[in-house]
Structure 1
Amino acid sequence: MFYRLGYIGFRYRYLVLAIWLALFLVSAPTIRQLPSVLKVGGFSNPNIESARARAVLEDNLPSFSPSVLVVIFESEEYTAFDPEFSDEANRVIDNILTISETAGATRFQDSPRQISSDGHTAYSAVQINLSPEESQRLMPEIRDVLPETSIATTLAGVPAFYEDVETISEQDLQRAELFAIPFALIALLLVFGTVVGAAVPLFVGGVSVATVLGLVFLLAQRVDMSIFVLNLTTMLGLGLAIDYSLFMTSRFREELDKRSVEEAVAVTVGTAGRAVFFSGLTVLIGLGGLAQFDFMFLRSVGIAGVAVVSVGMIGALTLLPAVLGIVGQRINRFQIIKRKDDSSGTFWVRLSNVVMDHPWKVFIPTLAFLLLLGIPFLDVELSSPDATILPTRVESRQGFEVLRREFGDGEISPIVVALETDTNVTDRENLAALYDFTRDFAADDRVTRIDSIVTLDPRLTLDQYNLLYNSPGGITDQFVQENLNQLASENATVVLLYIRGLAGDDESKALLTDVRNYQFGGDFRVLVDGGTAEIVDVVNLMYDQFPYVALVIVLATYFVLLFLFRSVVLPLKAILINTLSIAASYGALVFIFQQGNFSSILGFEPQGYVEASLPIIMFCVLFGLSMDYEVFLLSRVRETYLETNDNRQSVAIGLQRSGRIITGAALIVVVVTASFVTAEIVLVKALGLGIAIAVFLDATIARALLVPSTMRLLGNVNWWLPKWLQRLLPKKEYKH
């Protein structure tokens, strides 16, 4: 099948090239429009408790809107109590409220707790009747209506945060591309030694990435796609497309020494193309696993990942053979690095001999080294992203830090208790339940204050609250009525517990558990929201689903490799070694981004945690990507084994023939993914560096040392296949 596909690609090479160029020309104009159709966020799920609590409040309380813009005012000269400060702040809020999508504002003049202790900083909260993803589109209009004032104004909150994430993501991508493409070309020149040989994979990679981005643009019209897809698509698309092209181009140059151009193309697709197809399947399985998660962010990365791998494979099996058929013998033109033919004196021959002669001395240290690298992951702390993933130069991050400095960590993200009833919130039994709950937690040292309809004044008793809300003449106090309007409706109310620490602190999580376990009186249905609840719910749901997704990926990969290598042992060995490589990269992730090592060199602020989705994304990406190199290596080993039936010789020759190409291919991926270390968004920086470290370890320590030494120790057991299974698998294999 693959051999015939190579012949077809050669025969219709100009038509195939024209089709791909047409796809490129159609896709190219959409690339600039792509960010506008992608969404920020997607880290939540409407079915988790915190999201359901938020929905209850948005449906029942007018003061709770889907999005809130925080407008911070600062002045060294005036305080919030001065008319100059207050009038200027009101002018800003009044102008913002002229925008039709705004629903109102909670001004600091009506809520003294929104004024800092020294009075020189205050904030007002503007409610916006749009989802967080849509509210960011209002930010240019909001900035246009801001008047010039004598006090400093900073915009923060979800709309500003989402806008900054989108802007910085685009800048990160442009910066990474400036590094990735030139360094990828240098790496290709080092691998091939000729300008034409290096240009072919780069050309195929560029056309493939442009086509993928065009495809993602179309997909984003139908399904929600995360803004981070932009970075991952380029990162993986360029790396994989060049990887596949490099592997096949190398085989083509090898075959060209002993065959015609047509035959060389056909044999290349029949051997290396077959390996690329099955290698791509393993990557596709891994990335496809992400599409099974109930989070838009992970699901869209999975969908885009499947598109990346599919286009990369199709490009390698159609566009590349066409280009190779056109280039032909000119593939070796413009040589800049002279390479000797493989001989007994080459590095890979010497290395293979060392590994074959001393397998235990190689196996034990490499295994221990990978296990040692993974140890820091035992102390991992998982959390969801907040404004700290952004650089300190952007406005929303600056506003976030002002709120933390002037009002404390807990002011930013209180625990939000949503209570719903079929009777009336102010019925005596319900008021008693609220009163008991607020008094119990007001005595808790982890709580700094509580806002509710029964905490207006600590001197008021339950009977007095009952009298205030249930007096036959109605509520006569304006302050009480305004507070009730803001915090309750007839059938729902909210209690805000302001905490001492940040949302992700262990103390805050323990407090959340106590709140959720509290036995309420009355007839309330209780749901808990807030930053802490969101973090806990998201992490729990992600990691409830992760084991099942991982199991599907592992089993599917096992059967693909079983079909390819006709062995029950080799797939199992590949999966175990993959797991070791991934564990080592997890350890590096904790060591660098959670513990903060090398933070000054890499230019980021230590998070104190690992973003919860990172280990999942890395597993799904790396499990397939690592299998790439396993398939490339074992394909050459199996070719030799079919010819010689000698395990030791086949492993040695397989390493000799594929070692330089595997390390070259890995170098490309490392260069491309490491270029995203220049990103200012910590999430993107961590993903790029994590993949780069994992691929480097996998292609050097794992594939060059651990895999061949393990195969040497296992001997002919590597190729064991029960007879009953032999009868089930197809018997035809391509040989040449």
Structure 2
Amino acid sequence: MTTSMLRPPEIRPDETLTSHRRPRNLAASVARFSARHRATAIGGWLLFVVLATALSAVIGTIGAEDSDYGNGESKRAAQIVDAAGFPERAGEMVIVQSGTLTADSTEFRGVVREAAAAVEATGQVENVNTDAVSEDGHSALVTFDMKGDPETAADRIEPVFAAVAGVQDRHPDLLVAQTGEVSIDEAIEGQVSDALGTLSMLSLPVTLGILIVAFGALLAAVLPLGLAVTAFLASLGLLAASSRFFPADDTVTHLMLLMGLAVGVDYCLFYIRREREERAKGASPEQALATAAATSGRSVLISAFTVIIAMAGMFLTRDTTFISLAVGTILVVATAALGSLTVLPAMLSKLGDKVDLGRIPGLYRRKSDGRFWRFVLRVVLRRPGVSATIAAAALVALALPALGMRPASDGIDGVKHDAAAIKTYDQVQAAFPGGADPATVVVKAPDVTNPAMTAAIADFKAKALATGQLHEPVTVEVNPDRTVARIGIGLSGTGTDKVSEQAIHTLRDDVIPTTLRGVDGADVTVTGGTAQSVDFNHALTRSVPLVFAFVLGLAFVLMLVSFRSVVVAVTAIVLNLLSVAAAYGALTLAFQHGWGAGLMDFQERGTITSWIPLFLFVILFGLSMDYHVFVLSRIREGHDRGWPTRLAVTRGIQNTAGVITSAAVVMVAVFALFTTAPLTAMKEMGFGLAIAVLLDATIVRAVLLPSVMAMLGERNWYLPRWLGWLPRLSHQ
């Protein structure tokens, strides 16, 4: 066998975008049009961004209301309450507590009366009540509602704070402190809005810094960031329009910025690095752009479809939060892909080699020498079986803790407890279990005030308190037409733990059926924070298999059609599931077991925020496939040129390793920033995404993928004869 027989086929220099042999694919066709009509492509993109941004400002984004959230029984209860005509109120409370005095002492009762009189004297409150006393007698509650629109109660609460502080100053030997809906919302809003705004802005310079290191040139670094930011701005306008059909969750814009930076930068990196690589080989600017458009452009298209498919799976949950996050992500990914396929080729065609303006000595290089990755691949491919076994075993070991993952609503435990209102909430919760966040029993009947129903409610109260899992204060409120009563009752536990969940089951399964249900045809339902968490987890258990089947099934079909190989499609699914499982395990160790509590500054709850696991699955599956498609496209490209599989794998991974490393560093850095957010759920999201991308870009792409493909050899490209009708898509 001669040396020439082993040499990869040469690419003819005349195979450009204008050649009769130019690649026939959508990405190449769009890039060809953009390159020929640069002014149209660039101007059209800017006009689109401006109009979409203006649309957002003009029509506004419709946010999800409280009634849009929830699942099952708790959601039905909330809807009954909304339709019953109860006055909308913002409830507050003041705890009066002493380590020595009890509620039956004259001094203690005097302070309680003074606190009640002080808040009432502000003229901002109504429905003041002083009946609630703790079981040990050392604590009492002064409950009241803020007058006026509850949405604007925060604007009127400062005099109430001042009045309570005055009572505390006059009685320093007792605790007199305020908490409640308005107080806590104001404290959380102050924590979250400032922190997330800072993090969102900080993500931009961090991303730019990493891109400068990756490209070694200022203009080349600014271009991906500019595309990502403009795609994000345009997608906000599209979100405003879509919110007419799918109300937007409060957190969706922060996620859109994250994903816009992640995929927008990725797509540009794929494109620009390939164009640079071709120029380093001696291709003309036109030839280099042609190759980048036909190869990296096509990878961008497939990757975007994969992410969109993954996110669309969340529609099957029929949950407002998931649907909102899915819509926002789909919009920003589709917009970033559109910009990458249209305005980016036009900009690169216009700039040519000027894209490398602002070269930084010591950092700039048109093509990475890849020495590190060549070394890694030599080690991995020397014994691919051993490499695959070690890598897979490490990921499986990391994934094992996920078997004990316990999702639950985070509630108030999901924020930092350093604000005064939240600290007071903890003190109320300790003195009155469940009193700060009670369950709400909703009774609907023709007349909830008739003697039979009144007796049933009294019986309910007695039997509920006798369980030891349900506690005072018990409140009863009737709507104006006396058809609906809502009963507030405290729960044992923290509101998010197993003790509170068991109390909900006792309430629903034991107490209500023997007291309220069936009396005068009453319809009885339960809502509240804990009930909503229980119902959410139940609904999620039903929908998760559907989401997994949808995402995995459509991703398999997309990979099968793109690469005409059953083995490649199955391998992609298995490797991505392995990296997601490992991320789950790391998340469980860090947050549920509290290993990361000190480092990331959060309160250990023994649970994972209920929406995080499914959300991470769809996001991580989409982002993992993003890398996988890019790598496999280069490998398939070599295979289609006639290279042996091992050579195609080696060169494909070696040539893409630098791009994937740069893209992964951007993602990990941006996602890791969110581990400093005040909300535990945001920390979980940032940590889960960062660790998964890190594992995927290193162990999976650099070790597992090449070793598995090397062992499979030509079997990688197996396609049954009966699937021969699948279209042949060019990878060159």
Q: Is the TM-score greater than 0.5?
A: yes
Q: Distance in 1 between matches of 2:703 and 2:650?
A: 11
Partner-residue secondary structure (3-state), 2:442:
strand
- 1:140 has 2:155 as partner: yes
- Equivalent of 2:624 in 616, 623, 626: 626
* Pairing 1:121-520 to 2, within 5 Å after superposition: 122-126=141-145, 135-143=150-158, 150-151=166-167, 156-220=179-243, 223-257=246-280, 258-333=282-357, 334-337=359-362, 346-394=371-419, 396-405=421-430, 407-422=431-446, 426-428=450-452, 434=457, 437-449=460-472, 451=474, 491-518=483-510, 519-520=513-514
Partner-residue secondary structure (3-state), 1:409:
coil
Amino acid in the other structure paired with 1:89: V
C-alpha change, 1:172 and 1:31, in structure 2 (3 Å) is farther
Partner-residue secondary structure (3-state), 2:133:
helix
Deviations 1:544-580 (A, max 9, x none): 1121122111111111111111111111111111111
Residue 727 of structure 2 aligns with which residue? 730
Q: Distance in 1 between matches of 2:420 and 2:393?
A: 46
* Pairing 1:79-118 to 2, within 5 Å after superposition: 79=108, 81-82=110-111, 84-92=114-122, 94-96=123-125, 105=127, 107-109=128-130, 111-113=131-133, 117-118=137-138
Amino acid in the other structure paired with 2:268: S
Q: Distance in 2 between matches of 1:308 and 1:222?
A: 17
Residue 9 of structure 2 aligns with which residue? none
Q: Distance in 1 between matches of 2:466 and 2:396?
A: 47
Q: Distance in 2 between matches of 1:731 and 1:55?
A: 53
Q: Supply the RMSD in Å over aligned alpha carbons.
A: 3.2
Q: Distance in 1 between matches of 2:369 and 2:137?
A: 77
Partner-residue secondary structure (3-state), 2:224:
helix
* Pairing 1:46-57 to 2, within 5 Å after superposition: 48-57=72-81
C-alpha change, 1:117 and 1:23, in structure 2 (3 Å) is farther
Q: Distance in 2 between matches of 1:614 and 1:23?
A: 33
Residue 471 of structure 1 aligns with which residue? none
Q: Distance in 2 between matches of 1:141 and 1:25?
A: 38
Amino acid in the other structure paired with 1:95: Q
Give yes or no for contact 1:197–1:332 (8 Å, CA) kept in 2: yes
Q: Distance in 1 between matches of 2:60 and 2:594?
A: 31
Which runs of 5 or more structure 2 residues have no equivalent in the other structure? Answer: 1-25, 102-106, 169-175
Q: Distance in 2 between matches of 1:344 and 1:36?
A: 48
Which runs of 5 or more structure 1 residues have no equivalent in the other structure? Answer: 97-103, 453-482
Amino acid in the other structure paired with 1:277: L
Q: Report the Cα offset of residue 140 of structure 1.
A: 2.2
Q: Report the Cα offset of residue 671 of structure 1.
A: 1.2
- Bigger mean CA deviation after superposition, 495-504 or 74-83: 74-83
Q: Distance in 2 between matches of 1:33 and 1:419?
A: 42
Residue 472 of structure 1 aligns with which residue? none
Amino acid in the other structure paired with 2:629: V
Q: Report the Cα offset of residue 84 of structure 1.
A: 3.7
C-alpha change, 1:36 and 1:388, in structure 2 (3 Å) is farther
State, as a whole percentage, how many aligned pairs show the same letter: 27
- 1:44 has 2:62 as partner: no
C-alpha change, 1:634 and 1:80, in structure 2 (3 Å) is farther
Deviations 1:146-176 (A, max 9, x none): 7656235866444454455554443233221
Deviations 1:416-473 (A, max 9, x none): 3333345765445x56655655444433232344737xxxxxxxxxxxxxxxxxxxxx
Residue 21 of structure 2 aligns with which residue? none
Q: Distance in 2 between matches of 1:577 and 1:129?
A: 56
Amino acid in the other structure paired with 2:611: S
Amino acid in the other structure paired with 1:379: G
C-alpha change, 1:129 and 1:84, in structure 2 (3 Å) is closer
Amino acid in the other structure paired with 1:10: A
Deviations 1:352-404 (A, max 9, x none): 22222210111111111111111221222211131222223445423422422
Partner-residue secondary structure (3-state), 2:701:
helix
Q: Distance in 2 between matches of 1:17 and 1:209?
A: 17
Q: Distance in 2 between matches of 1:331 and 1:440?
A: 75
User: What TM-score do you get using the length of structure 1 for normalisation?
Assistant: 0.85
Residue 12 of structure 1 aligns with which residue? 37
Give yes or no for contact 1:287–1:621 (8 Å, CA) kept in 2: yes
Q: Distance in 2 between matches of 1:450 and 1:123?
A: 11
C-alpha change, 1:299 and 1:396, in structure 2 (3 Å) is farther
Deviations 1:254-293 (A, max 9, x none): 1224333233222211110000100111111112222333
C-alpha change, 1:86 and 1:724, in structure 2 (3 Å) is closer
C-alpha change, 1:437 and 1:221, in structure 2 (3 Å) is closer
Q: Distance in 2 between matches of 1:127 and 1:489?
A: 23
Q: Distance in 1 between matches of 2:368 and 2:39?
A: 37
Amino acid in the other structure paired with 1:296: T
Q: Distance in 2 between matches of 1:42 and 1:690?
A: 30
C-alpha change, 1:116 and 1:228, in structure 2 (3 Å) is farther
C-alpha change, 1:226 and 1:635, in structure 2 (3 Å) is same
Give yes or no for contact 2:34–2:40 (8 Å, CA) kept in 1: no
Q: Report the Cα offset of residue 8 of structure 1.
A: 1.3
Count of residue pairs brought into register by the alignment: 683
Give yes or no for contact 1:65–1:129 (8 Å, CA) kept in 2: no
C-alpha change, 1:6 and 1:494, in structure 2 (3 Å) is closer
Amino acid in the other structure paired with 2:92: V
C-alpha change, 1:214 and 1:172, in structure 2 (3 Å) is farther
Deviations 1:61-93 (A, max 9, x none): x7x55553214366999845345433212123x
C-alpha change, 1:337 and 1:195, in structure 2 (3 Å) is farther
Q: Report the Cα offset of residue 722 of structure 1.
A: 1.0
Q: Distance in 2 between matches of 1:272 and 1:612?
A: 37
Q: Distance in 2 between matches of 1:87 and 1:67?
A: 20
Partner-residue secondary structure (3-state), 1:419:
strand
Residue 569 of structure 1 aligns with which residue? 567
* Pairing 1:521-536 to 2, within 5 Å after superposition: 522-523=519-520, 524-536=522-534
Deviations 1:621-660 (A, max 9, x none): 1110000010011000000011125111111111111111
Partner-residue secondary structure (3-state), 1:81:
helix
Amino acid in the other structure paired with 2:265: I
Partner-residue secondary structure (3-state), 2:92:
strand
Give yes or no for contact 2:295–2:731 (8 Å, CA) kept in 1: yes
- Bigger mean CA deviation after superposition, 569-578 or 629-638: 569-578
Q: Distance in 1 between matches of 2:438 and 2:370?
A: 67
Amino acid in the other structure paired with 2:595: N
